[in-house]
Amino acid sequence: MALSSVFCPLLASKTPQPKSAPSFHLGTNGLRPPPKRTSWPFIPRSNRGRSIGIRCERRDDSFYMRRCVELARKATGCTSPNPMVGCVIVKDGEIVGEGFHPKAGQPHAEVFAVKDAGDLAENATAYVSLEPCNHYGRTPPCTEALICAKVKKVIIGMVDPNPIVASKGVERLRGSGIDVITGVEEMLCRKLNEAYIHRMVTGRPFVTLRYSLSFNGRVLNQLGPGAEESGGYYSKLLKEYDGVVISSNLFPKTFSLPTSHETGATQPLRIIIARGVNSLHLPALTTESAGKLVVLAEKTITVEPKLEDVKIVVLEQMSLSSILDYCAHQGLCSVLLDIREDNEVLKELLDDVLDEHLVQKVVMEVCPIWCRGEEAFLAFGRKSFRLRDLETRTENENVVVEGYIL
């Protein structure tokens, strides 16, 4: 039988297949060949000559850590200011318990996983995407849950940068006789909580700059088809971020506030920058949406309709730095800076973005639209810069590109 007949999925035909050119992966170290298989799957004689499915993925530490991250993402947009965390309990090569941190103030991932595993947690291995905490906050220490469950080994994706936690959880577990390994799939775990990490390290929110371009390079006032609907990239972005910054110049042309339509989404705090205006007329607001809206202005202004829940804050100096300081004081870990065609106010705030390292990420949407009229380019900053770790995807005929500022 030809070797090609044992690849997944298995081909029923015994006709030798032509050899294909080897594929390559583009990683941080350039082109590299895909990893080689270490063993071939066993095929029972009774199944030879028929199409069958074979699970090809090897269940190692990386496999279980990726499962932790997958579980953690179920709480996207719900845990801030806490990180997203997933935990898996494994015994004799089988997952016997799973859990994730669903919301700030609720039990952590380890507690749910241990409860799910029950007595099977004893002498098992616990995988957790972030170092278990060893302090009393709104919930008891996660380390105690693992110790009481009598797990024999804990494998951690990354050490918690929170100074209250950092390495103390690892030390507590090791002091209790539990074998601890750290740094498994660390980059994946760091990306999961990039906003939380940035806030812990710098004291400021993680900021993403977002804008849409026409196919001929013009900055658009609109988003691409389907972007704002449930499942659209913009709707999902709003679910992920604690706050979204927009300009008051938008409201003469739009009648709605940025809103995530994802199931169970917690709406971000809408931060409206009112610069160079004496009055502001907002779109129709519900009591719920009004409670998550702040107007930042340089002076006292009139805002209509008048609602007690809408906050008006006067900043002594209107700059991106002062805006982010306000966001930090409100406990925001992540902020989406939404640039539109008419957002000249926001463009002016971006001049010092590189010198002060105020923006960490860029999301650009290219729409299948060719615009006529005057050119509108997104130009800011005093110097050029490069982006790293670019990712591209197509959604509803729109191309979304994201990358990190070096």
List, by residue number, the catalytic residues: 110
In the Cβ-directed half-sphere of 109, how many Cα atoms lie within 13 Å? 31
Q: What is the largest CA-CA distance in the chain?
A: 81
SS3 string, the chain, reads CCHHHHCCCCCCCCCCCCCCCCCCEEECCEEECCCCCCCCCCCCHHHCCCCCCCCCCCCCHHHHHHHHHHHHHHHCCCCCCCCCCEEEEEECCEEEEEEECCCCCCCCHHHHHHHHHHHHHCCCEEEECCCCCCCCCCCCCHHHHHHHCCCCEEEECCCCCCCCCCCHHHHHHHHCCCEEEECCCHHHHHHHCHHHHHHHHHCCCEEEEEEEECCCCCECCCCCCCCCCCCCHHHHHHHHCCEEEEEHHHCCCCCCCCCCCCCCCCCCEEEEEECCCCEEECCCCCHHHHCCEEEEECCCCEEECCCCCCEEEECCCCCHHHHHHHHHHCCCCEEEEECCCCCHHHHHHCCCCCCCCCCCEEEEEECCCCCCCCCCCCCCCCCCCCEEEEEEEEECCEEEEEEEEC
Instruction: Look at residues 283, 300, 193, 197 and name the one whose alpha carbon lies nearest to residue 246.
Output: 283
Q: 14: which 2 tokens? A: 């015994």
CB-facing half-sphere around the CA of 230: CA atoms within 13 A: 5
Strands 25-27 and 311-314: unpaired
Quote the CA–CA distance of 74 and 152 in Å, as a whole number: 27
